[in-house]
Structure formats: structure tokens, C-alpha cells
A and B are shown apart, each in its own frame.
Chain A
Amino acid sequence: EAGVAQSPRYKIIEKRQSVAFWCNPISGHATLYWYQQILGQGPKLLIQFQNNGVVDDSQLPKDRFSAERLKGVDSTLKIQPAKLEDSAVYLCASSLKFSGALSYEQYFGPGTRLTVT
């Protein structure tokens, strides 16, 4: 089966510019996650969707970050305006679903490496 697709793979922008990342999850996966991974740290959950509804966005800096998952399939994450501290790898992951006591394995995409100068 095809894996999680992300684009672009690399992006360099200047601070105060805007940027958007795209993610296409594995077909049939209801749950989609966006993570931010700063160098030397583990992935930090930004937002989690179940179909096209938001399950958790408590760590999403909503003044500059936004995400949507139209039609419950692919998703976009936007940063506007970017700051130097947004330099990181942005990972998208998907899983079959979340249903209480049973959490399904997350499948990760290759990530987008963002450099803000």
C-alpha cells in the first residue's frame, strides 16, 4: 500500500513569510496527526484529526498556525507569519482510527524540513 505522502520535502523561507505543507494519508485512515520535530527533540503533536473533525489542537499556536482536513482525506498545515523558532521538521502521520482503549499504529510520512531565516 502507498504510504503517507508529504510535500514539499524541504522549504526555506524568510521570517514573516507564510508557508503551507500538504499531507495525503494512507487510504482509509480516519485519524491524521501533524507533529513538529525540532532538532534534538521528539515529535510534538500540533493537531489531531478524526475524519475532518479536530480531536486535539491544544499545542497548536493558533495565532500563526492553522490546519484543515477537508473531506476527511488530505490535510494542509499553514504557518503565517513564520518565526525563526518555527524551523523544524513537520511530520504527518495517519492511523486507521482511534477508538477508546485501542489506539492504532501511526504511519509516518517523510516530513517537511522547514528553515526560517
Chain B
Amino acid sequence: AQSVSQHNHHVILSEAASLELGCNYSYGGTVNLFWYVQYPGQHLQLLLKYFSGDPLVKGIKGFEAEFIKSKFSFNLRKPSVQWSDTAEYFCAVINTNAGKSTFGDGTTLTVKP
């Protein structure tokens, strides 16, 4: 069965600290990978995505993620967080065979000013 695991449920950082949020998935075939973000009071929106090619992808607001196929991982990183990055972050997988979409349970990031 297809699943997504986000290991960190709640992360608290000070401004300018570096961020890494873990995401692992289980699916034996080809996948497309996504990170979505939900700022307080707003809709879920796309942060970045990976389809193929360079495993290091860059998204909006200085975020990047690296796809490591051998580890089934797609971790999200940002070198220096800001207070405005406070939000909930979701990793998602779509398998290219059936197109089924699966989300992780999310990581709440709190950035202290």
C-alpha cells in the first residue's frame, strides 16, 4: 500500500536557523513528489514538486528538497527560516501508474522571532 511518513510532528526554531523536514514514502513504482504548505488561515498551496531529472528541486520562498530514490525520501530544507515560515507542511506522493494521491500527516513549524 502507498503511504507517506513525516517523522517530525512539531518543529520549533528560532529565526535564521536551518530547517530540514523529513519525508519518506513507500511505493515500489515511479512517483511524483510534492511539498505543500498551509499558512495560518489559508488554503494548502504548492511549495515545490519533483517529477524527474535533477533530484534537487527548488521551490518558492527559498525552500528546496532532495529526492533520494534509494532511501525513498524527499526531505525539505531551508538554510535560514523566517518568522513568516510558520505554517504546516505536508509531503505528498502521486504514483504515476494509477495517479493515486497520498499525503503525510504534516509537520507544524513554529518559528520564534
Q: Which A positions have Cβ atoms within 8 angstroms of B? A: 3, 31, 33, 35, 40-45, 48, 50, 55-56, 58, 91, 93, 98, 100-103, 105-106, 108-111
B49/A48 in contact, CB under 8 A? no
Minimum CB distance partner of B102 in chain A: A45
B98/A56 in contact, CB under 8 A? yes
For B36, the chain A residues whose CB sits under 8 A away are 106, 108
For A91, the chain B residues whose CB sits under 8 A away are 44
B106 touches which of A31, A42, A108, A111 (Cβ 8 Å): A42
Q: How many residues of B contact A (CB 8 A)?
A: 25
B103/A42 in contact, CB under 8 A? yes
Minimum CB distance partner of A109 in chain B: B43
Given contacts A41-B106, A102-B32, A102-B51, 13 further A-B contacts (CB under 8 A): A31-B99, A42-B4, A43-B44, A43-B103, A44-B103, A48-B99, A55-B100, A103-B32, A103-B96, A103-B99, A108-B45, A110-B43, A111-B43
B104/A42 in contact, CB under 8 A? yes
B94/A103 in contact, CB under 8 A? yes
Does B46 belong to the interface (CB within 8 Å)? yes
For A109, the chain B residues whose CB sits under 8 A away are 43
For A93, the chain B residues whose CB sits under 8 A away are 44
The verdict on A106 contacting B101 (CB below 8 Å), with A42-B106, A100-B96, A101-B30 known, is: yes
- The CA of A50 and the CA of B99, in the complex, are separated in Å by 10
